[in-house]
């Protein structure tokens, strides 16, 4: 009887240590700080995959419960209590960081401003917002945008232009400016004439720039030939686009 009691004590002692210890899968020495340590060099972790309706059918999902939603193709977790779950997508982007591919696009509404002036002016292209993927990254004020995070950015600027009076041989020139300093290529045209339907042209810029946080971007334009009046041709015909690359 004493021996039986001794063996029962040993079994209970070992079992209790297993219950409160670490679990290792693929390792016999799980890290002491983990409740579960999965080790593999050729396999990954596959969590439960389910549709939105299947996820919603989970009874009393715990706060922090983690699933993969096959309808939205994203990892989700319950950020609220089991009674009223709130499912949020898991963001793998550090707080305050902007993901590569975040972009901003505007098209013009202004078709009356003379862009063929002796002094530099900002191209009036920030008229209609088409999209802004990250309003904390791209902060627009008037005809300029402040980019709040350092990195590489691609810019594409298109300006459809036309003479607006009986003048000829106008040739506005535009360029990207960072904090008021011209940078990269410039766009120009030989000239546009107000005869024989040659009064229209287009200017195009495409640049990738390395920027610092809070750099201010403008696209400036001015005359490089005669002084006749030139406007952006039609609403929506001129565009400003920027995309984060790295």
pLDDT, residue 197, reads 63
pLDDT, residue 14, reads 45
> pLDDT tens across 155-182, in order?
999 999 988 776 668 889 999 999 999 9
Same domain, residue pair 77 and 49: yes
Q: Is 20 helix (H, G, I), strand (E, B) or coil?
A: helix
Average pLDDT, the chain: 85
63-72 average pLDDT score: 88
pLDDT, residue 140, reads 95
pLDDT, residue 195, reads 65
Same domain, residue pair 81 and 118: no
Residue 26 scores a pLDDT above 90: no
93-110 average pLDDT score: 80
Given 89, 122, 137, the domain boundary residue is: 89
Same domain, residue pair 218 and 109: yes
Torsion, CA 16, CA 22, CA 23, CA 25, rounded to 10: -150
In a domain, 165, yes or no: yes
Count of domains for the chain: 2
Give the C-alpha distances (Å, rounded to integers) separating 87 from 69, 70, 143.
10, 14, 39
Instruction: State both tokens at 40.
Output: 């593999």
């Amino acid at each position: 009887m004493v021996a039986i009691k001794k063996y029962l004590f040993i079994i209970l002692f070992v079992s209790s240590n297993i219950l409160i210890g670490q679990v290792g899968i693929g390792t016999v020495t799980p890290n002491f700080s983990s409740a579960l340590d999965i080790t593999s060099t050729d396999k990954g972790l596959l969590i439960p995959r389910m549709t939105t309706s299947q996820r919603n059918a989970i009874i009393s999902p715990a706060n922090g419960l983690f699933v993969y939603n096959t309808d939205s193709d994203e990892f989700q977790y319950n950020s609220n209590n089991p009674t009223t779950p709130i499912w949020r997508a898991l963001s793998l982007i550090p707080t305050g960081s902007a993901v590569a591919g975040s972009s901003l696009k505007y098209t013009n509404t202004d078709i009356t401003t003379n862009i063929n002036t002796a002094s530099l002016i900002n191209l009036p292209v920030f008229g209609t917002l088409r999209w802004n993927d990250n309003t904390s990254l791209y902060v627009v004020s008037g005809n300029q945008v402040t980019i709040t995070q350092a990195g590489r950015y691609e810019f594409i600027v298109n300006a459809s232009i036309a003479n607006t009076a009986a003048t000829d041989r106008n040739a506005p020139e535009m360029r990207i400016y960072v904090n008021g300093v011209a940078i990269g290529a410039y766009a120009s045209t030989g000239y546009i004439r107000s005869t024989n339907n040659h009064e229209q042209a287009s200017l195009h810029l495409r640049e990738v720039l390395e920027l610092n946080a809070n750099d201010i971007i403008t696209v400036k334009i001015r005359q490089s030939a005669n002084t006749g009046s030139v406007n952006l041709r039609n609403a929506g015909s001129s565009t400003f686009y920027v995309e984060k690359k790295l």
